[in-house]
Amino acid sequence: MLDKNGIAKRIAKEIKDGYYVNLGIGIPTLVANFIPDGINVVLQSENGLLGMGPFPFEGEEDADLINAGKQTITTLPGSSIFDSAMSFGMIRSQKIDLTILGAMEVSENGDIANWKIPGKMVKGMGGAMDLVASAKNIIVAMQHVNKAGESKLLPKCSLPLTGVNCIRKVVTELAVLDILPEGGFKLIERAPGVSVDYIKQVTAGKLFADDGAPEMILD
């Protein structure tokens, strides 16, 4: 079973040289720490930056330079700044090669719910609806089961949707799964020590796992 860093590490392997990548808040942010050497990527922050660098050294924080999580960050050689309309313009026109974001639920046909829980204070969707509706390549980083032990990979999302039929790949603490164009989760890899049977047990949506799946290699 993977911890958050493990999920991030596994997702980092999906990043190809030359990619422009948008990382959501939470586990997706951790992915930046695991990008392999020799893989050149540019991180987009949807508040208006391409080429997001690491956090600043203490004392060098700049109130004018933050990421979409409102954290102080830095630029890198080659960075560019633009306004919010252009930022979502490049998202909508699919110039971003890969989007990684978290989810509360994903359905077997690629729907995603990650912004609203009825009865709880709703903070808003931020840029998530734009990202999931536009991106050609979305990977979801999420927990396979909730605290009550219930599957979050469902036949149909129970929570209000963020986007429909848009997710292609899910990486959880237990597995890597593709979402098939015709519907259903296809087991691609298992986390170390996790059995196919267990994954079947905690995947409520349609699962294709009869061929088994290799254990993932993280290093």
Q: Of 30-38, 145-153, 163-171, 203-211, which segment contacts other proteins by CB under 8 A?
A: 163-171
Tell me whether residue 57 or residue 217 sits nearer to other proteins (CB atom). 57
What angle is formed at CA 178 by the lines to CA 144 and CA 187, rounded to 5 degrees?
Answer: 65
Pick out residues in 11-50 that bind other proteins (CB under 8 A): 18, 20, 40-42, 44-50
What are residue 169's DSSP bridge partners?
A: 139, 178
Q: Binding to other proteins by residue 160, rule CB under 8 A? A: yes
- Please provide the distance, in angstroms rounded to a whole number, between the alpha carbons at the two ends of the chain: 15
Pairing mode, if any, of strands 112-113 and 105-107?
Answer: antiparallel
Q: Fill in the per-residue mask, 96 to 115: x = in contact with other proteins (CB under 8 A), - = not in contact.
A: x--------------x----
Cα–Cα distance for residue pair 32/12, rounded to 1 Å = 8
How far CA 79 is from CA of 44, 117, 168, in Å, comes to 10, 36, 29
Tell me whether residue 67 or residue 172 sits nearer to other proteins (CB atom). 67
Task: Single out the residue of 153, 194, 42, 169 nearest to residue 101, CA to CA.
Answer: 169
Q: Binding to other proteins by residue 88, rule CB under 8 A? A: yes
Pairing mode, if any, of strands 138-141 and 105-107?
Answer: unpaired
Q: Binding to other proteins by residue 95, rule CB under 8 A? A: yes
Q: Binding to other proteins by residue 217, rule CB under 8 A? A: no
Pick out residues in 191-210 that bind other proteins (CB under 8 A): none
Q: Of 1-9, 67-75, 99-107, 210-218, which segment contacts other proteins by CB under 8 A?
A: 67-75
Q: Binding to other proteins by residue 161, rule CB under 8 A? A: yes
Assess whether 46 carries a catalytic annotation: yes
CB distance 105 to 112 below 8 Å? yes
Q: Binding to other proteins by residue 64, rule CB under 8 A? A: yes
Task: Single out the residue of 172, 132, 152 nearest to residue 10, CA to CA.
Answer: 172
Shortest separation between residue 94's beta carbon and other proteins, angstroms? 7
Catalytic residue among 46, 108, 173, 189: 46
Residues designated catalytic? 46
